[in-house]
Structure 1
Amino acid sequence: MSAAHTGVPSVLAHPLPRPVPADELAACPAGEVFRRVGDKWSVLLVIMLGGRPHRYNELHRAVEGISQRMLTRTLRGLEADGLVRRDVHPTVPPSVEYSLTPLGRGLLEPLSALADWAVRNAPEINEARSRHRARAGGETAPPP
């Protein structure tokens, strides 16, 4: 970061063109990561695997509401992104264990910072939501 940008968050250091071109948005490496960690299950699985490796069925039992299909798709996506390693052990039947790669471990720090921010600011966010609902005539806003 240059001296002129000291104290400026990196996401603001480079102004976006207006309008943002769709192809630029699609090609943005940060956007790709945000889409991956912004889905419903990826962050939860990364956090769980951050504690220790898990077998597939262990993950499926531990995450209420996730279907086998969605667990498989999410793990495959995390594996394709290099965040999760899939190890097949030569047993009968074969057992599969998932763990974080060093790249996946590196994601734990920014996820922790975001989680800490969310917990710290939850009361203010909840108050803002209440004020918004009151201004909207009591209509329920869609969940975030």
Structure 2
Amino acid sequence: MATAARRGPYFCGVDAAMDVVAGKWKSLILWELDHHGTRRFAELRRGLPGVSEKMLIQHLREMEEDGLVHREVYLQVPPKVEYSLTEHGVSLNAALAGLGTWGTERIRRIGAAKVFTGDEHDHS
């Protein structure tokens, strides 16, 4: 569960929320798990082109500590680890949906190119 003592104090709710999703990859990890369900590490990494193994590990640990992601370890050979969203992670992803819509509109408005991965999904 979240370790509140490691963060804060906060100026407002937006400050607290942004602390949890700080970093380029956290919101994308949330999106990937929400849209594709439970994933193994390699599946997450393939779904997030450009993320380094070190960064993905770091973000997943922080997100688990914040209560957003559940890490399930299966005691087998070879070891199997799966990641999924907690209820708290699902609610944060729902809160970010409006921001994704705003970002998609910004892409259209400024004429920026959208980057697509192999399965051509939209992160809005």
TM-score, normalised with respect to structure 2: 0.73
Amino acid at match of 1:96: V
Q: Which runs of 5+ in 1 are unaligned?
A: 1-25, 128-144
Report which stretch shifted further, 60-69 or 85-94. 60-69
Give the letter aligned to residue 94 of structure 2. E
| Distance in 2 between residues matched to 1:58 and 1:121, nearest whole Å | 29
| Cross-structure match for 2:88 | 103
**1:65-144 alignment runs, 5 A limit:** 65-124=50-109, 126=110
Unaligned runs of 5+ in 2: 1-7, 112-124
Distance 1:79 1:50 in 2: 15
Question: Runs of at least 4 residues of structure 1 off by over 6 A?
Answer: none
Tell me, yes or no, if the aligned pair for 2:64 and 2:71 is still in contact at 8 Å. Answer: yes
Query: Structure 2 vs 1, CA of residues 120 and 62 (structure 1 numbering), >3 Å: closer, same or farther?
Result: closer
Alpha carbons of structure 1 residues 67 and 122: separation in structure 2 relative to 1, 3 Å: closer
- CA shift, 1:61, in A, is 2.3
Corresponding residue SS for 2:45: helix
Q: Aligned pairs, how many?
A: 101
Higher helix share: 1
Alignment of 1:45-56 (within 5 A): 45-51=29-35, 52-56=37-41
Cα deviation per residue 1:6-51 (whole Å; 9 max; x = unaligned)?
A: xxxxxxxxxxxxxxxxxxxx41163232033231000000001112
Aligned to 1:10: none
The percent identity for this pair of structures is: 36
Higher relative CO (CA 8 A, sep ≥ 6), structure 1 or 2? 2
Q: Secondary structure, in 3 states, of the residue corresponding to 2:17?
A: helix
In the superposition, the TM-score normalised over structure 1's length comes to: 0.64
